[in-house]
Structure 1
Amino acid sequence: MTSEDRRGEGVAKLRVSLARLDGWIVASLAGEIDMLTVPGLRAHLAELVADHGRRPQVIIDLGGVTFCDVLGLGALIGAHHMAARRGGALRLVVPPGRVRRFLRVTNPTHDLRIHATLVDAAAPHS
């Protein structure tokens, strides 16, 4: 998925690449998550959760994300709820930096599992 927006002379993009790790589907995001990219992200995450049957195991790696707003947080929480309704799990990888500070300040209480590394997120009892 690539979502593009033209603001002045710049182009903002959100890229998603998929991989597998120890039974988990890993969606690595890079770019900005904001009001312009969230609709495409929501659709992509919904498809990702739905396409992996019952009990989807999804890790969203935000290591390449340079910005995330409250709409982006809402999309992540929504994907978490979708996976939980199907008996699965969704975990976030959020390395130290701006996005992790944003999550700490907003303090989401939706049982989102936040990990510093991909290895930690994929661990059986994380």
Structure 2
Amino acid sequence: MSTSDLLTVEFADRDDLVLLHVRGEIDMGTAPALRDHLETAVGRGADGAPLLIDLTGVGFLASAGLALLVEYHTRCRDAGRPLRVLTGGGAVLRAIEVSSLDNVLEVHPSVEAAIAAG
């Protein structure tokens, strides 16, 4: 099974934000592909436009994925750009909460909630 079978990433840019839809599993094998997409996402959109990472379609989030979220949270913050993580709950939210990253990352249940926070 290839990495592309385990992880898909699509952009859904809008005028006011950059939205990255992620589906599948984020682990040590798929994290490099996600990093490439995050790197592209950071370069898209207007200055200061929020970057939303939609993980509602992710069933598994390992420490490699958590590390990426922290890395890009820091990069976006330093660039004056909010990074918001979308999760509908489940394993992804549990991984974020167990690692106490819900105290660091901006976590929202939907695109609408993330936009309203802004």
TM-score normalised to structure 2 length: 0.87
Q: Does 1:80 align with 2:77?
A: no
CA distance in 2, matches of 1:45, 1:51: 10
For structure 2, list consecutive stretches of 5 or more residues without a partner in the other structure.
Answer: none
Distance 1:109 1:120, change over 3 A: closer
From 82, 92, 110, give the equivalent of 1:89.
82
The residue aligned with 1:61 is 54
For structure 1, list consecutive stretches of 5 or more residues without a partner in the other structure.
Answer: 6-10
Structure in which a larger fraction of residues adopt helix = 2
Supply the RMSD in Å over aligned alpha carbons: 1.9
**Structure 1 residues 1-126: aligned runs within 5 Å:** 4-5=2-3, 12-21=5-14, 23-52=16-45, 54-108=47-101, 111-123=104-116, 125-126=117-118
Structure in which a larger fraction of residues adopt strand = 1
Q: Is the 8 A contact 1:49 1:56 kept in 2?
A: no
Matched residue of 1:71: which SS? helix
Alpha-carbon offset, residue 54 of structure 1: 2.9
Q: Is the 8 A contact 2:19 2:51 kept in 1?
A: yes
Give the paired residue count: 117
Distance 1:88 1:116, change over 3 A: same
Alpha-carbon offset, residue 30 of structure 1: 0.2
Larger Rg: 1
- The farther-off stretch of 16-25 and 67-76 is 16-25
Alpha-carbon offset, residue 122 of structure 1: 1.3
Provide, for residues 33-80 of structure 1, a one-character-per-residue CA deviation record: whole Å limited to 9, x for no partner.
000010111121022102335324100010100101011001111111
Q: Is the 8 A contact 1:92 1:113 kept in 2?
A: yes
Distance 1:52 1:82, change over 3 A: farther
CA distance in 1, matches of 2:76, 2:102: 16
